């Protein structure tokens, strides 16, 4: 009997020890994740001091660049009367189309801040001449849709997510391709997968021996940290990947089926105005914000930061957030931290006669009384700049300032997060204890949508910015990368499982 008691006692102790060990391991994974991301975020990267003067075209100080009467074709995107430009299937004369092209390229030279950034006179003149030559090849006239396609093809060198032609962008976007068939592990001999009850070491992926490029930190469906094979590409359809593995003297070729990341925008069902939503799962607060366009929900979102900062762990779900205005993410950060965000950015702004005209138009669409004290000051500053009667460039440099934060924050993101949504990522990137989960963002950060030009004859609209923002290691179209890569639409569920294990 004593023998059985000893056995039962040993069994109970084993179970208890196992539970404690599992709990400690899970807790360690949680802590180590934040420790790793904090260390990465706090690293002092050497800032590349590029000569930004090369991007600032030198204009005659008081030259408008176009006829004064042509200013009427320029408006602010904030003008509610200019929100829709359906393509008309109609022909215009060759001389009308060529007149539109001459006007467009002159306007862009004198008002698009990215003109020199994307090559200057030599590149833009070549594109202009190619379009005019193509128009001249038509016998009598050209259909507007064909003219639009010509513009998209010849202006493909403009890799700017906010530069659009009838709301179509020539930007090459990066997609995340991945496989979760095998979890990848690493030891002193290299990366390996479990196959046939043994360790098979990866020798190449798609004939590339740089294995680390394809290995992404991830999280499985159970909420356990792991590594999967994944990569970014501008190609639209990649179905499989060849992986060569070796165990001792034997090698194999594996062909892994690939998935392309799902975007949350396509799977959201919501009321049109319900861009902000608060919920809880397993007592974990979830703050969901899908847009920063002016909306009655935004006040509630901005105020939610005061609730969020008192929590141990929260989830910020910004998937599908295509942007809008910066007031909401800026104010949320202020309410959460008590200070304004400061990111590592160099901004160059073209405040010339054309752009100052549009700035004044935009100011008429802003409700000054509803602005915070800080934004009222910014509003006055903008109008003061717009009153200038000369062509000028303004340079603004920000240095990244890290902010202490005890709340553990998981930020869910995908490649539909753009513009001010990406600004929010920049702000959150300055906070301690933040982990970004999902896929790369849209990569629409370089400029703004501050000017809309309608071509007189074709009525094609071109939208572009009067400033560009330069960040080291940032690629337009690729965007900001997460700390933990999850390509499917279940990133929320996986993070909930991960938090529940701690």
Interatomic CA distance for residues 243 and 255, integer angstroms: 6
Q: Per-residue DSSP letters for 154-182? A: HTTT---TT-EETTB--PPPPEEEEE-SS
Residue ranges of the chain whose pLDDT lies below 50: 1-26, 82-84, 265-272
Give the tokens for residue 473. Answer: 């290691």
**pLDDT value for 24:** 38
Which residues, listed in sequence order, are joined to residue 189 by a DSSP beta bridge?
none
Predicted confidence (pLDDT) per residue in 51-94, tens digit: 889 999 999 999 999 999 999 999 988 775 544 455 667 899 99
Cα 137 to Cα 151: distance, rounded to the nearest angstrom: 15
Q: Tokens representing 299?
A: 């006040």
Q: How much is the pLDDT for 20?
A: 34
Q: Residue 268 has what pLDDT?
A: 43
Contacts of 242 (CB under 8 A, 6+ apart): 205, 206, 207, 253, 254, 255
Supply the pLDDT for residue 78: 72
Contacts (Cβ under 8 Å, ≥6 apart) of 289: 275, 276, 301, 316, 317, 318, 321, 328
Report the C-alpha gap between 426 and 434 in whole angstroms.
12
Q: What is the pLDDT of residue 72?
A: 95
Burial class (CB in 10 A: 0-12, 13-18, 19+), 17: exposed
Sequence-distant (6+) residues with CB within 8 A of 356 are 385, 386, 387, 388
- Asked whether the beta carbons of 128 and 364 are under 8 A apart, the reply is no
Radius of gyration of the chain (CA): 27
Cα distance between residue 6 and residue 249, in whole Å: 48
Cα–Cα distance between 176 and 488 in angstroms, integer?
10
The pLDDT value given to residue 25: 45
* pTM given for the model: 0.88
């Amino acid at each position: 009997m004593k023998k059985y008691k000893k056995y039962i006692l040993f069994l109970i102790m084993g179970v208890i020890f196992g539970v404690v060990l599992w709990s400690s391991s899970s807790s360690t994974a949680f802590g180590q994740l934040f420790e790793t991301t904090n260390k990465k975020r706090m690293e002092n990267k050497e800032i590349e001091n590029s000569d930004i003067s090369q991007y600032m075209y030198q204009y005659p100080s008081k030259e408008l660049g176009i006829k004064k009467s042509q200013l009427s074709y320029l408006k602010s995107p904030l003008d509610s009367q200019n929100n829709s430009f359906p393509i008309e299937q109609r022909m215009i004369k060759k001389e009308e189309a060529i007149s539109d092209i001459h006007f467009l390229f002159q306007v862009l030279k004198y008002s698009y801040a990215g003109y020199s950034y994307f090559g200057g006179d030599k590149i833009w003149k070549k594109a202009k001449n190619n379009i005019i030559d193509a128009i001249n090849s038509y016998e009598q006239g050209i259909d507007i849709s064909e003219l639009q396609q010509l513009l998209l093809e010849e202006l493909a060198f403009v890799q700017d997510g906010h530069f659009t032609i009838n709301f179509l962008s020539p930007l090459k976007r990066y997609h995340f391709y991945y496989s979760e068939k095998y979890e990848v592990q690493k030891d002193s001999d290299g990366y390996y997968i479990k196959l046939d009850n043994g360790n098979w070491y990866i020798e190449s992926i798609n004939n590339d021996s740089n294995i680390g490029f394809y290995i992404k930190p991830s999280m499985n469906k159970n909420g356990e940290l792991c590594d999967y094979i994944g990569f970014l590409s501008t190609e639209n359809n990649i179905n499989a990947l060849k992986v060569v593995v070796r165990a001792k003297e034997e090698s194999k070729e594996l062909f892994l089926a690939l998935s392309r990341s799902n975007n949350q925008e396509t799977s959201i069902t919501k009321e049109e105005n319900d861009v902000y939503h608060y919920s809880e799962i397993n007592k974990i607060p979830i703050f969901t914000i899908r847009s920063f366009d002016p909306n009655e929900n935004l006040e509630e979102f901005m105020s939610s930061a005061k609730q969020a900062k008192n929590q141990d762990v929260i989830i910020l779900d910004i998937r599908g957030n295509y942007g809008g205005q910066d007031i909401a993410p800026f104010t949320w950060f202020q309410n959460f931290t008590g200070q304004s965000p400061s990111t590592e950015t160099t901004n160059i702004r073209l405040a010339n006669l054309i752009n100052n005209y549009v700035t004044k138009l935009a100011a008429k669409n802003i409700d000054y009384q509803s602005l915070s004290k800080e934004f009222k000051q910014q509003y006055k500053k903008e109008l003061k700049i717009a009153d200038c009667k000369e062509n000028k460039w303004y340079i603004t440099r920000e240095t990244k300032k890290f902010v202490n934060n005890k709340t553990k924050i998981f930020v869910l993101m995908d490649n539909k997060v753009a513009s001010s949504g990406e600004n929010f990522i920049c702000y959150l990137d300055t906070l301690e204890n933040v982990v970004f989960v999902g896929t790369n963002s849209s990569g629409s950060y370089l400029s703004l949508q501050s000017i809309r030009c309608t071509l007189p004859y074709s009525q094609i609209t071109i939208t572009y910015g009067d400033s560009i923002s330069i960040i080291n290691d940032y690629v337009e179209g690729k965007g900001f990368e997460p700390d933990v890569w999850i390509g499917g639409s279940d990133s929320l569920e996986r993070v909930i499982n991960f938090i529940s294990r701690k």
